[in-house]
Amino acid sequence: MCGIAGIIHRNGAGDIGTEMTAMLQSLKHRGPDSTGFAVYGSAGSNEYVMRFMVAEQEDLTKGYEIHDEVKRRRAEVDKRLTGLGVNITEKVDATEYAFRYRFTFDGDMRKMADFVEDVEGTEILSLGSALELIKDLGDATTVADQYKLQGFKGTHAIGHTRMATESDVDIRSAHPYWAYPYNDISVVHNGQLTNYWIMRREMERKNFRFQSSCDSELIAVYLADKLESGVDLETAMHQSIDELDGVFTYLVATNDSLGMAKDVMAAKPMVLYESDDLVAMASEEVAIRQVLPQEIDTVDPYDREVRVWRN
């Protein structure tokens, strides 16, 4: 089933970490397997933030040597980053297996991403100047507490509660997905894509990589491909409605925008609240009411509807 939610403050930053945690926690019944957040803080000048993991949470319960292996993998990532001339300014150990690095780098970002992900068990969860992508097993409160997300200030966020259907219960299959290799773009999705394999093969022929077998990752990669070719976000989203087959509602966020798209059948839910200060949306209104407890006017977007808001 899955639950998705998005929020954007139109006049400056808000407490998006706490807000998105509350919204996603209220959607736990739509997907208790994993929870993910894509939060957008203030972009640092010439600085990037990279969230990455070197193992699945589940891996840490297997064998006696995995803890040393995790350390070895991280050391290898550090070595490769240094070798490429990446200047790491801050390192945060979110968990034993997931990390947050802030750095400056003038080189080829895609090459750097590929080189890092070449390390066994390593996946870049997000890369950009404003985006930080956090996802792990458990409900929203569990993940937010684990990654100290409560109190995170930023302009906008999207999030996802996952009920695993066609792929595994692991971090790799959890949403959001970073739109590799495009900086600062993330996607969450509720639905099923029926032309997943055809589209995936098409993208792989274009040299895009897939880290999971989750159809939602395809949307992120699809949008990245469009954006790389110069298509603007809104146009790319309109095109996605015709080219992605299946039933879906998805949210996409960039460093300054938040968008939503609904398929031709309008088969998956979305409730939308919009004001001059704030736009909030979710699979169920109960999530919006976590940040707007007063009576509000909400609408259901219709089939083929694409909306984009900027802060």
Partner 1 sequence: MAKLETDDHVSHEMGLHTEQLTGRTQQRFFDLEESDNLLYPEAPDVDFNKRAEVDAAEMEISEINLKIRSLMAEGYGSIVIKNPLARHSLGVGILSRLNLTFEGSLGYFGVGLIDGPNVRVTGRVGWSCAENMMAGTVVVEKNAGSTFGAAIRGGDLVCKGDVGSRTGIDQKGGTIIVGGRTGAFSGFMMQRGRMVVLGDAGKNLGDSMYDGTIFVGGKIEDLGVDAVEGEMTELDKAWLERKLKMYGLEAPNGVENMTKIVAGKQLWNYDNLEPSEKKIVL
Closest to partner 1 by CB, 48 vs 273, is 273
Binding mask 247-276 for partner 1 (x = CB under 8 A): -----------------xxxx-x-x-----
User: Edge-to-edge strands of the sheet including 306-310?
Assistant: 177-178, 186-193, 246-253, 257-262, 306-310
CB of 261 to partner 1, least distance (A): 15
Closest to partner 1 by CB, 118 vs 300, is 300
Stretch in the footprint of partner 1 (CB under 8 A) among 197-205, 216-224, 243-251, 290-298: 290-298
Q: According to CB under 8 A, which residues from 115 to 134 bind partner 1?
A: none
Please tell me whether residue 19 binds partner 1 under the rule CB under 8 A.
Answer: no
CB of 279 to partner 1, least distance (A): 16
Q: Which of 284, 291, 306, 311 binds partner 1 (CB under 8 A)?
A: 284
Q: Does residue 2 have an active-site annotation?
A: yes
Q: How many residues bind partner 1 (CB under 8 A)?
A: 20
Q: Which of 1, 2, 45, 141 is catalytic?
A: 2
Please tell me whether residue 286 binds partner 1 under the rule CB under 8 A.
Answer: yes
Judged on CB neighbours under 10 Å (0-12, 13-18, 19+), 277 is exposed
Residues at the site binding partner 1, with contacts judged by CB under 8 A: 264-267, 269, 271, 284-286, 288-289, 293, 295-300, 302-303
